[in-house]
Amino acid sequence: MDTILVVNAGSSSVKFQIFSIENPGDLKRLIKGQMDGIGTRPRLVAATENSSLVDRSFSPIEIRDVPAAIAATAAWLRETQTFQLVAVGHRVVHGGPNYDRPVVVSHKIVKDLEEFVCLAPLHQPSNLAPIRSLLTSRPELMQVACFDTAFHRGHPAVADHYAIPERFYAEGVRRYGFHGLSYEYVAQRLFEIAPAIASGRVIVAHLGSGASMCGMLNGRSVESTMGFTALDGIPMGTRPGQIDPGVLLYLIMQKGMEPLEVQNLLYRESGLKGISGISNDMRELESSADARAKLAVDYFVYRIALNAGMLAAALGGLDAFVFTAGIGENSVTIRARIAEKLTWLGAVFDPGANAARKPLISRADSRIAIHIVPTDEELMIARHTVSLLAKHHAEVRVSEKIA
């Protein structure tokens, strides 16, 4: 059975899925798993649709970093599974100015992508670690890099520029946008479940530990809250979202902070964690009676509402608002609070449908539809991987005929 492995490596977890290729372009999910708690409380879990395959804890010494987690996960797969692996698809957060679509990986491409580690320090090193490992251990195996920035690359110049000298744009300093694999999946899913809405003006809110929003027109990205890096836009678990650049100048010039200190502050100590001083986990903040936790949640909702207005302006109106990702899919309260702030756009919220976690949580008389659409980045990566695999096989057949 030909299969595709999908790897989504983060800063403290490695998610993986295995898909079988049933027919050309037809994928079936066989295994879904992850190694999380890397460096603190590592735990490997994996399951099929119907049963658990493994639930094993490790010591922090055994799994101290992402490469160790990848090695342990790969060992478990080799020891317990007998699939015929034909390709591996990877999520890579930053593709820079040159990579606007999925590509078959080479050593040169990995070297190119290493240039963007400083622009995505939480993700890019982890994304590239399994690619390097497989290039060494399985050089014959096709690997495909799928970029979070690619979905946004069709933006008009006015949306992608910063108001700084043009030479910086030519060097790649521009607004890229992220979470593109999630937005691409949601856009495709909307055409399946609500085609009339999907072809209109839609804001998708990807709300999780990393959070952003995207304005779409006819299923294509028009504007995003994120920019040059994954720091901009709405607040996240440990990242601040929009911040006056003057604050950063103040930290460096007046407070004497080193650039790496500022980087650590922005990526690991800010956002919900920074405001609350308690946690970066929305579940903990929602259940806390601490005033700081309440402020963090209020700020999260407030900034999302502000950015919804910005994206609606970019779209020239709004036909639908979509919640996705961990918080968006699971927090009844956060969805309700955000939906209430969309009333000026014509939203009429249905509390009962929201509490029941129905796919449509707006009332029939609402001018804009409000949906919950679970995201599936791994399936999106698998689709891109099998597409490039099919293209590769077709090219091989043509070359054999010519020979």
Q: Which residues are catalytic?
A: 148
What string of H, E and C letters represents the secondary structure of the chain? CEEEEEEEECCCEEEEEEEEEEECCEEEEEEEEEEECCCCCCEEEEECCCCEEEEEECCCCCCCCHHHHHHHHHHHHHHHCCCEEEEEEEEECCCCCCCCCCEECCHHHHHHHHCCHHHCCCCHHHHHHHHHHHHHHCCCCEEEEEECCHHHCCCCHHHHCCCCCHHHHHCCCCCCCCCHHHHHHHHHHHHHHCHHHHCCEEEEEEECCCEEEEEEECCEEEEECCCCCCCCCCCCCCCCCCCCHHHHHHHHHCCCCCHHHHHHHHHHCCHHHHHHCCCCCHHHHHHCCCHHHHHHHHHHHHHHHHHHHHHHHHHCCCCEEEEEHHHHHHCHHHHHHHHHCCHHHCCCECHHHHHCCCCECECCCCCCEEEECCCCHHHHHHHHHHHHHHHHHHHHHHHHHHC
